Structure 1
């Protein structure tokens, strides 16, 4: 990555390696949604997509009836909600106040080992060339669905109508694989986010606690005296006296959904699978094994460029491949999601599939930037090799 990437791209691409799900750069619910949705924010069962700004773009919830205020009768044709999940099928986890999610290029300095949060300061040492920080003064709360079998069956039955509705009536123009169903989310009352690309060897960031007039604590980013700060940062920390809702979603977990090549072509008239062009990125053979040009990375492949840059698409491949007509994708700035690569790979291996889906848990540990899991994956070929080695593909008829 380089300084041509947006702050949302740097933040999301960096923090997805922390094994906490997919990070959202805009945790709060959009103001144009209903008051009821804004009270709770992203929820299990939400269907939508992730925008270039790092927002979850909500369309409808599969557990709510069509006329519920959150769905507002704006649902796919013949929509029928899925039966509610049982509370015993949820994983619940609380992260303590003062928790943080950091990339390997960032170290949290424990200047006051007995400091209580909220109230203590966060100080981070940041190293080149890039990184990201999420500071959680009040901690956070994770709820995640454990039983996904009914959800997968429901997705397989209805994915086509979802894409028709979202790309048709809702006009989102999603690429194949960009549709997302939330099966878990981590929420916080307050947060501080920072991302950076820097040629400096090292600098420091501080997320400071300062008293408010109402005797509560407020957190804000502040520079350290004499230290250049090349980061982009923002924060959210309303006064607890306001009885704030728990609606700030820092990470989501879910299924990325793709339609089969033939179905996608029938609906939208263009290929639903991104082709790797040999002259640009290496080669791909009929078995789905991919090799990349030297220097190209997992992220740059997903962004449609041999290295650097911040858009996906452009000219991919022309002509016919079997009974699929390949066409250009318009350049669109896009945050990379690993499951889209996995889904495309599965569509290559199983070209007659009608629906392909993969969960964030499928790539979470493989991409982890954690010494305990080995060296982090840096290329598409490494990712797909690990997917082949560690997972089996489940094919269901009907």
Structure 2
């Protein structure tokens, strides 16, 4: 790979920051802000939601030519150092003697690839970026710099920019369902950490080991990265009128997929000039940690291998320990998609660790299986986020835990299971009336005609024939209905028997009532239920049914899922069953035959930007 790395001095105007009027000697006040190239690249480009941007995308020159033609691959066990460089060791998906594996000295003794092997059908190949692509990453983050005088701190703002140009787009590959790696990693993680430290001399700390499960590879790229750090200096630190000092740095780099070799210590490009798509500009990984007890043993075993000037690698906190409350867990395996999925389009920078954790716990369940801790999407969150249906458009809030909900109910969704909790009914607040909450003026509740549920747009010939046979039996749902599953897309579906739609005929009176009483409702119920005005909703419409089938999937291969209704269901037994045609992470709920009428969809009023609006 032909590459360049050199310092450039961007103009202040290019950074969007005005020049300070007076330059100060700040070396006595605080150490100069650290503006490493990798930090600039990472903070700016990680916001693009493609995983970890790689400092040097080219595969290691010391690896076999077969490996270098491909580049970093799914199954690679790597370390990602503080400079953003990839330290490749071995690949878990190929035999030890494969040219696509590491050098013999980088492969653990007794190594065996994953068994059963990774199914090629479990890999999704696509083009995340087609043709000439320019990724313009920008980050604005605030932090503090410790002063040289104990106890003094200085507020700083770092504006990082990284522009990655990819002339011919990328080829992206991702493992669809990464759960296939968990048992294999748990069986080998301790040996891998001991190997990279004791044999490889790497001083890896707990959490450093990664296994590649996705990549974006291209044939050529170029990158410009700049950073401007403005440090606020209080007036009591200087007699100057200047209150801000600025530090700028910039670097550029480029690379191509032409192979090179080492000749007399000098890199020489392949004279044939063949260009390979082997430049990994982004990698997505599984991140491997062990519990404190295991890490302490690994660190002690490493002591005899240390040189006198070296320190035992400290264990990074087993971060899931305090959050999981699962004392028997030995390993934590998270994936980059866990944090990628909670990034927001308007994030000015990567959230702080506590904010990341808070967002993750809102949408993921913490699970444990075979001593391994991992995250899985909360089905109720997936269902609310991705469900589309053919019922009335006002029914915008799906209930993953159907229950009886009345029109006029005031309540909230439980954080535990997504179930709707009713606090009172606006038409009859009962004991709340005496505490200052008047009832809603009488309104007619309209009941819509009975209709069938959502039907699949793609139905088999069998489904169509069955539909013709049942054409005169409108009260009976089809025996079988099929829903498509698209790879790399979350899925949520609902299917019901006969339904009943109730709603207020007008929204103006409920809106005024809710606006006038929401603060009082929170005053009465907020502390007991740990809710705020943003949690509270007023139900203006409901869709009820006795027979429902709910389905969500966080990841799956291309295919479909079929709901098969039992033509002769028994009382108290599920009225049907979902039949996925491929593997994935599925969750479903099916009601029992002749069960109670329950609410599956609602329309509601809620607070948004200090206004009462219909929920969308």
- Fold-level match, TM-score > 0.5? yes
Q: Deviations over 1:231-287 (max 9, x none)?
A: 3111124789822111110000110101111111112139xxxxxxxxxxxxxxxxx
- CA distance in 1 between counterparts of 2:121 and 2:257 reads 32
- For each residue in 1:10-53, what CA deviation from the matched residue of structure 2 results, as whole angstroms up to 9, or x when unmatched? 10232111101111010001222222222211000000111233
2:318 pairs with 329, 339, 344, which one?
A: 344
What does residue range 1-398 of structure 1 map to in structure 2 within 5 Å? 3-69=33-99, 70-74=101-105, 75-82=107-114, 83-94=116-127, 95-104=129-138, 129-198=159-228, 231-237=250-256, 242-269=273-300, 344-348=318-322, 349=324, 350-366=326-342, 368=343, 370-371=345-346, 378-397=351-370
Distance of aligned partners of 1:103 and 1:265 in 2 relative to their CA distance in 1, 3 Å threshold = same
Distance apart, 1:167 and its partner CA: 1.1
- TM-score (normalizing by structure 2): 0.42
CA distance in 2, matches of 1:253, 1:92: 14
Is the 2:210–2:288 Cα contact (8 Å) retained in structure 1? yes
Which has a greater percent of strand?
2
Q: Counterpart of 1:214?
A: none
**Kept in 2: contact 1:260–1:351 (CA 8 A):** no
Structure 1 residues 67 and 105: alpha-carbon distance in aligned structure 2, compared to 1, 3 A threshold: closer
For 1:25 and 1:375, the matched residues in 2 are separated by 22
Q: Can you give the 5+ residue segments of structure 1 that lack an aligned partner in the other structure?
A: 107-126, 201-228, 271-326, 331-339
Question: In 1, Cα distance between the equivalents of 2:351 and 2:176?
Answer: 29
Q: Which runs of 5+ in 2 are unaligned?
A: 1-31, 141-156, 231-247, 260-271, 302-310, 372-616
Identify if the C-alpha distance between structure 1 residues 141 and 3 changes in structure 2 by more than 3 Å, giving closer, same or farther.
farther
1:230 Cα offset (Å): 5.3
Indicate if the aligned counterparts of 2:51 and 2:336 stay in contact, CA closer than 8 A: yes
Deviation at 1:131, TM superposition (A): 1.5
**Matched length:** 281
Match of 2:376 in 1: none
- Residues of 2 paired with 1:56 and 1:238: CA distance? 17
RMSD over aligned Cα, in angstroms? 3.0
CA contact (8 A) 1:102 1:132 kept: yes
Q: Which has the higher contact order (CA 8 A, sep 6+)?
A: 1
Structure 1 residues 363 and 238: CA distance shift in structure 2, 3 A: closer
Separation (CA, whole Å) in 2 of partners of 1:103 and 1:194 = 10
Shift of 1:88: 2.0
User: CA separation of 1:267/1:194 partners in 2, compared to 1, >3 Å: closer, same or farther?
Assistant: same
Judged with a 3 Å threshold, the aligned counterparts in structure 2 of structure 1 residues 377 and 191 are, in CA distance, closer, same or farther, namely: closer
Does the CA contact (< 8 Å) of 1:257 and 1:357 recur in 2? yes
Contact 1:261/1:347 (<8 A) preserved: no
* Equivalent-residue separation in structure 2 for 1:105 and 1:388 (angstroms): 24
Residues 318-366 of structure 1 show CA distances to partners (whole Å, capped at 9, x for unaligned) of xxxxxxxxx9868xxxxxxxxx98x832033445421111000000132
Question: Secondary structure of 2:205's partner?
Answer: coil
Contact 1:195–1:233 under 8 Å retained in 2: yes
Q: Partners in 2 of 1:175 and 1:186 — Cα distance?
A: 27
| Distance across 2 between alignment mates of 1:261 and 1:238 | 42
Q: TM-score, normalised by structure 1?
A: 0.64
Residues 273-326 of structure 1: CA deviation (Å, up to 9, x unaligned)? xxxxxxxxxxxxxxxxxxxxxxxxxxxxxxxxxxxxxxxxxxxxxxxxxxxxxx
For residues 160 and 80 of structure 1, the distance between their equivalents in structure 2, rounded to whole angstroms, comes to: 15
